């Protein structure tokens, strides 16, 4: 592990040099994951990396609210929070880094909400967050695990929160790539009537159409099929605590309104986002909640 104190960045590299990951302390945001020299994550060329705004790309951590609090009728205790919460725009501390065996490298970052007045003012529950990142060559994978501990405080009410790991997965052409594994899972389309619909397609092909679907429950493995002739897949697995899946791409029209997305950038990614967002988690004081995802590269000859 190497650290750039001036930039606030951690770089992990496996002993073989085949895998590397870059993590900013700002938001504990993974901004790069490379395997055999190939970038697996999308990062907008227009996104500032100086802590002035949330990062458009990589793997932002959404906590403790998904979207804006006003979107939810039941948003007690979340009303003062900014869109997507505070985790992705707070400064985290690196508390551990190590190489394990011969094929893995890992680090741990932490965020204590009581250390920041702006967080205390917006979120009434004191929480301690730990983010574990583990990089492996065998299998070629990146594992991210978020631990939430509700610290003892003046409030006796359970801490209320959503969690979402907002994976921007790089693709050659989002209009051609497919997503497999969600057939039969019920979703809410935030771009449409918000009615609940059971997914009937496998794979799902966006063909340049916008997607802002929240698939609720099931915690299935989901595979991104690149459909570039290589047969590669990127499989997203998760713990049962991250039972929901958001599938997002703004498509061309909506992308024009995203000032931090470079021109044509919407074609270069599909977001597959494990989370717990269909309902708010409620965590009693003194207890912990853990959500884990693994992104795994699979070589093969599958076709969309």
Per-residue pLDDT reduced to its tens digit, 12-26? 999 999 999 999 999
- CA 281: distance to chain centroid? 17
What is the maximum span of the chain, computed from C-alpha positions, in angstroms? 58
Per-residue pLDDT reduced to its tens digit, 56-89? 999 999 999 999 999 999 999 999 999 999 999 9
Q: What is the CATH number of the domain that holds 58?
A: 2.70.98.10
**What whole-number distance in Å separates Cα of residue 204 and Cα of residue 183?**
9
Contacts for 55 with CB less than 8 Å, ≥ 6 apart: 24, 26, 27, 29, 31, 43, 47, 48, 49, 88
pLDDT number for residue 195: 77
Structure tokens at 205: 């092909």
Full-model pTM: 0.95
Is residue 92 situated within a structural domain? yes
Residue 145 forms beta bridges with which residues? 132, 292
Tell me how many degrees the CA angle 34-138-15 measures, rounded to the nearest 5.
65
**End-to-end C-alpha distance for the chain, whole angstroms:** 38
Identify the active-site residue in 162, 273, 288, 299. 273
Is residue 131 situated within a structural domain? yes
Q: Evaluate if residue 30 carries a pLDDT over 50.
A: yes
β-strands 269-283, 244-249 pairing: antiparallel
Q: Which of 231, 213, 218, 221 is nearest to 270 (CA)?
A: 213
pLDDT number for residue 219: 94
- CA 95: distance to chain centroid? 21
pLDDT number for residue 154: 66
Residue 199 lies in domain: 2-298
98 pLDDT tier (thresholds 50, 70, 90): confident
Average pLDDT (26-48) is 97
- DSSP symbol at 284: -
Is residue 218 situated within a structural domain? yes
Q: Evaluate if residue 55 carries a pLDDT over 80.
A: yes
Q: Evaluate if residue 179 carries a pLDDT over 50.
A: yes
Q: Tokens 């994978």 identify what position?
A: 141
pLDDT number for residue 303: 44
Is residue 303 situated within a structural domain? no
Q: Would you call 28 helix, strand, or coil by DSSP?
A: coil
Q: Evaluate if residue 97 carries a pLDDT over 80.
A: no
Identify the active-site residue in 22, 150, 166, 268. 166
166 catalytic per annotation: yes
pLDDT number for residue 26: 98
Number of domains in the chain: 1
101 pLDDT tier (thresholds 50, 70, 90): low
Q: Mark out the alpha helices in the chain (DSSP H runs).
A: 117-122, 251-255
Q: Evaluate if residue 4 carries a pLDDT over 70.
A: yes
Q: Evaluate if residue 138 carries a pLDDT over 80.
A: yes
Residue 192 forms beta bridges with which residues? none
Is residue 34 situated within a structural domain? yes
Is residue 227 situated within a structural domain? yes
273 catalytic per annotation: yes
Q: Evaluate if residue 304 carries a pLDDT over 60.
A: no
301 pLDDT tier (thresholds 50, 70, 90): low
**What whole-number distance in Å separates Cα of residue 51 and Cα of residue 27?**
9
Q: Evaluate if residue 265 carries a pLDDT over 50.
A: yes
Is residue 304 situated within a structural domain? no
Q: Which of 94, 90, 122 is nearest to 110 (CA)?
A: 94
pLDDT number for residue 230: 87
**Which one has a higher pLDDT value, 96 or 181?**
181
pLDDT number for residue 102: 67
263 pLDDT tier (thresholds 50, 70, 90): very high
Give the Cβ contact number of residue 82 at 10 Å. 14
156 pLDDT tier (thresholds 50, 70, 90): confident
């Amino acid at each position: 592990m190497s650290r750039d104190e001036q930039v606030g960045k951690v770089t992990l590299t496996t002993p073989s040099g085949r895998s590397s990951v870059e993590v900013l302390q700002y938001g504990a945001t993974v901004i790069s994951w490379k395997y055999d020299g190939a970038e697996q994550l999308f990062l907008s060329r227009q996104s500032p990396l100086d802590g002035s705004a949330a990062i458009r790309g990589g793997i932002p951590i959404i906590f403790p609210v998904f979207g804006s609090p006003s979107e939810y009728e039941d948003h007690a205790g979340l009303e003062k929070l900014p869109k997507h919460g505070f985790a992705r725009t707070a400064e985290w501390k690196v508390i551990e880094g190590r190489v394990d065996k011969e094929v893995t490298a890992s680090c741990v970052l932490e965020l204590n909400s009581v250390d920041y007045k702006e967080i205390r003012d917006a979120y009434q529950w004191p929480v301690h967050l730990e983010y574990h990142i583990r990089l492996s060559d065998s299998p070629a994978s990146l594992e991210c695990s978020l631990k939430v501990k509700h610290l003892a405080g003046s409030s006796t009410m359970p801490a209320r929160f959503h969690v979402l790991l907002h994976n921007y997965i790089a693709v050659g052409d989002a209009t051609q790539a497919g997503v497999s594994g969600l057939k039969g899972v019920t979703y809410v389309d935030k771009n449409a009537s918000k009615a609940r619909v059971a997914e009937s397609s496998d794979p799902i092909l966006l063909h340049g159409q916008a997607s802002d679907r929240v698939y609720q429950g099931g915690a299935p493995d989901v595979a991104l099929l690149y459909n570039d002739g290589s047969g590669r897949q990127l499989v997203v697995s998760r713990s049962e605590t991250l039972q929901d899946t958001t599938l997002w791409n703004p498509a061309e029209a909506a992308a024009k309104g995203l000032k931090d997305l470079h021109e044509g950038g919407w074609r270069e990614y599909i977001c597959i986002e494990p989370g717990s967002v269909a309902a708010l988690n409620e965590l009693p004081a003194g207890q912990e909640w853990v959500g884990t995802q693994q992104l795994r590269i699979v070589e093969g000859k599958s076709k969309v």
